[in-house]
Amino acid sequence: DIDHLNLRVQKELVEWLNWLKADIGFDGWRFGFAKGYSADVAKIYIDRSEPSFAVAEIWTSLAYGGDGKPNLNQDQHRQELVNWVDKVGGKGPATTFDFTTKGILNVAVEGELWRLRGTDGKAPGMIGWWPAKAVTFVDNHDTGSTQHMWPFPSDRVMQGYAYILTHPGTPCIFYDHFFDWGLKEEIDRLVSVRTRHGIHSESKLQIIEADADLYLAEIDGKVIVKLGPRYDVGNLIPGGFKVAAHGNDYAVW
């Protein structure tokens, strides 16, 4: 165990981070198991090493109902993520992985897409509150891969990417999905749509429909994404939009 309250430990870790930055060329940090030390300590490491980007892993359980599924309201869960960024410094480079969005998406793609519209009409994860500080993902080395601790439904992974790669927040792609699952081309198409239309972490999200079998949203007035098996949505798509990417139960215009 590392005693992060020990001043010598702090000093040596800061020196190491600055060495990684100056000599090796790293310019961003990932704070694993950030619940294991206070945000005040993380702030010291960030302030004294000045990375261009930092992301924290704050993985706590969602609030579940008696049916074993997540409650619609996950405000307490995402508030914990927001609080960490606030304490570390909201104007700095600190972000957190959006575990709230991950947990809701896991269930939503199994025929409960209504979950993707919160009670306030916005996205229900951290991206609905502070998208500039939310790093979205479908799976990571803990949740998927060999550890398989909270995996995304394997036959619906591309629906997850269609969501995070068109939505606000800073999306990240899981190595396994990109290189080992044969999804590189499909993911690449979605990345190119995001890049071509300048979708960014603070893009404006308008949710058009969120039903059991259909989620439809428009981003920055430039991109429309559909998740779910409902096929006939032509009447909901404004004129001038053309399909740019599509796959199993998802499409992007």
* Gap between the Cα atoms of 167 and 136, Å rounded: 9
- pLDDT higher than 90, residue 91: yes
Helix (H, G, I), strand (E, B) or coil at 38: coil
- pLDDT band at 145; cut points 50, 70, 90: confident
- pLDDT higher than 90, residue 7: yes
- pLDDT band at 147; cut points 50, 70, 90: confident
CB neighbours (10 Å) of residue 84? 22
* Gap between the Cα atoms of 3 and 47, Å rounded: 19
Angle of helix 39-49 versus helix 7-19 axis, rounded to 10: 40
Digit-coded pLDDT (tens) for 121-140: 999 999 999 999 999 999 99
Q: What percent of the chain has pLDDT over 70?
A: 100
Digit-coded pLDDT (tens) for 185-218: 999 999 999 999 999 999 999 999 999 999 999 9
pLDDT at residue number 154: 96
The position carrying tokens 């993380």 is 42
- Cβ(94)–Cβ(56) under 8 Å? yes
Please tell me the pTM assigned to this model: 0.96
Chain centroid to CA 199: 14
Token representation of residue 22: 């100056």
Burial of 2 (0-12, 13-18, 19+ CB in 10 A): exposed
pLDDT at residue number 181: 97
* Gap between the Cα atoms of 138 and 99, Å rounded: 9
Q: Which residues contact 50 (CB under 8 A, 6 or more apart)?
A: 21
Token representation of residue 97: 């992985």
How would CATH label the architecture of 58-203? Alpha-Beta Barrel (3.20)
- pLDDT higher than 90, residue 150: yes
Digit-coded pLDDT (tens) for 39-90: 999 999 999 999 999 999 999 999 999 999 999 999 999 999 999 999 999 9
pLDDT at residue number 233: 93
pLDDT at residue number 234: 87
CA distances from residue 48 to 16, 18, 36, 93 in whole angstroms, order as listed: 11, 8, 20, 12
- pLDDT higher than 90, residue 146: no
CA distances from residue 237 to 196, 218, 223, 240 in whole angstroms, order as listed: 20, 9, 10, 9
pLDDT at residue number 183: 98
* Gap between the Cα atoms of 43 and 66, Å rounded: 38
pLDDT at residue number 248: 97
* Gap between the Cα atoms of 214 and 227, Å rounded: 6
* Gap between the Cα atoms of 78 and 60, Å rounded: 10
Token representation of residue 175: 């190595």
Q: How many CA atoms lie within 13 A of 10 on its CB side?
A: 15
Chain centroid to CA 33: 17
Q: What are phi and psi of 196, to 5 degrees?
A: -60, -35
User: What residue ranges do the domains of the chain occupy?
Assistant: 58-203
What sections of the chain are H helices per DSSP? 7-19, 39-49, 75-89, 99-108, 157-164, 175, 184-196
- pLDDT higher than 90, residue 246: yes
Q: What percent of the chain has pLDDT over 90?
A: 96
